Copies of this chain bind each other. A is one copy, B any other.
Amino acid sequence: MNSTEQKKTNQKYYSKFTRIYVAVDCIIFGFLNNELKILILTRDFEPAMGKSSLIGGFVRKDESLDDAAERILYDLTGLENVFLEQLYSYGKIERDPGERVISVSYYALLKVQDLDHDHVEKHGARWCNIGECNELVFDHNDMVERALTRLRRRAKNQPLGFELLPRKFTIPQLQVLYEAIYQKKFDNRNFRKKLLAMNVLEKLEIKDKSTSKKGAYLYRFDKKRYNRFLEEGFLFDL
């Protein structure tokens, strides 16, 4: 059997089954005004026109799931090389009242200072505080909740937090971020101690004075040290 015949046979075999619309929905996290937020938009199409939803789109026939997620993220934000991870697939029959649609959710961590806010607003998207966006369409609230759970777990074992801050950041900034993620205060001495003990930060000789008179030293995440750290099998836990 040659390749063409092969394909024909397959298509015949597969054609007994249903094909289904597959969508990707993104939970896009950002850290603004010392708060953890996600991007949402108001739907300008049916079903559920006028309601708030996550940013999503359909998977095209010439792209993988990951590609689709990257494309959707790029279209909205203009950003590439953003932290993006698949989360969970939602497949209830009636989850989208319009049609049978399966949705694969992804969550992204943006450095908001890289963002062109006008571009985002032009697409009708806006930032919504975690915990204040409970009125999303379909099963999007479940998606957000699952994303938060995942983020909280991941941020304990991997230095994910850095993905939400500028490349250069201070330790107090990082602490505020972690406090926003976990919704609780950390002891600053212990936070600093554990963080520096991991030895994945490079201290710069510059201070950031935007938040204090004294000024706080800037640090940079050192990916090489982090990789060494992973190979040695250590665990990151704040």
Q: List the interface of chain A (C-beta within 8 A of B).
A: 6-7, 9-11, 13-14, 17-22, 45-47, 58-66, 68, 86, 88-93, 97-102, 104
Cβ of A59: which chain B residues have Cβ within 8 Å of it? 17-18, 20, 91, 102
How far, in angstroms, from A59 to B14 measured CA to CA in the complex?
11
The distance from the CB of A163 to the nearest CB of chain B, in whole angstroms, is 21
How far, in angstroms, from A189 to B11 measured CA to CA in the complex?
58
Which residue of the partner chain B has the closest CB to A21? B19
The distance from the CB of A185 to the nearest CB of chain B, in whole angstroms, is 18
Interface class of chain A by DSSP: mixed
Do residues B6 and A46 form an inter-chain contact, with CB atoms below 8 A?
yes
How far, in angstroms, from A97 to B90 measured CA to CA in the complex?
25
- Starting from the known contacts A20-B20, A59-B91, A68-B91, 9 additional A-B residue pairs (CB-CB under 8 Å) come to A13-B98, A14-B58, A17-B21, A19-B22, A20-B22, A22-B22, A22-B91, A66-B91, A89-B104
Asked whether A46 and B10 contact (CB < 8 A) given A20-B61, A88-B86, the answer is: yes
Asked whether A60 and B7 contact (CB < 8 A) given A13-B98, A91-B104, A104-B91, the answer is: no
Which residue of the partner chain B has the closest CB to A10? B98
Cβ of A20: which chain B residues have Cβ within 8 Å of it? 19-22, 59, 61
Which residue of the partner chain B has the closest CB to A61? B18
- From B17, B58, B91, contact of A58 by CB (8 A): B17
Cβ of A14: which chain B residues have Cβ within 8 Å of it? 21, 58, 98-99, 101
